[in-house]
Amino acid sequence: MGGAELRQTVRSRVSVTRTGGVEPGPGNGGKAGYGGITGHEGAVRTMVGADELTTEDRKTGLRLMAVHAHPDDESSKGAATMAKYVADGHEVMVVTCTGGEAGSILNPAMDRPDVLANMAEVRREEMARAAKILGVSHRWLGFVDSGLPEGDPPPPVPAGSFAVVPLEESTEALVRVIREFRPHVMTTYDENGGYPHPDHIRTHEVSMAAFDAAGDPDRFPDAGEPWQPLKLYYGHGFSKARMVAFDTALKAAGLPSPYEEWLKSWDPDRPDIMERVTTRIECAEYFEVRDEALKAHATQIDPTSRWFVVPLEIQREVWPTEEYELNRCLVDSTLPEDDLFTGIKEKVSP
Indicate the annotated binding residues.
70, 73, 200
CA distance 147 to 199: 8
Q: Annotated binding site for Zn(2+), which residues?
A: 70, 73, 200
CA distance 163 to 196: 12
CA distance 191 to 243: 22
| Residues contacting 344, CB < 8 A, separation 6+ | 62, 184, 185, 230, 231, 331
CA distance 85 to 257: 31
CA distance 21 to 19: 6
Cis amide prior to 153 (ω within 30 degrees): yes
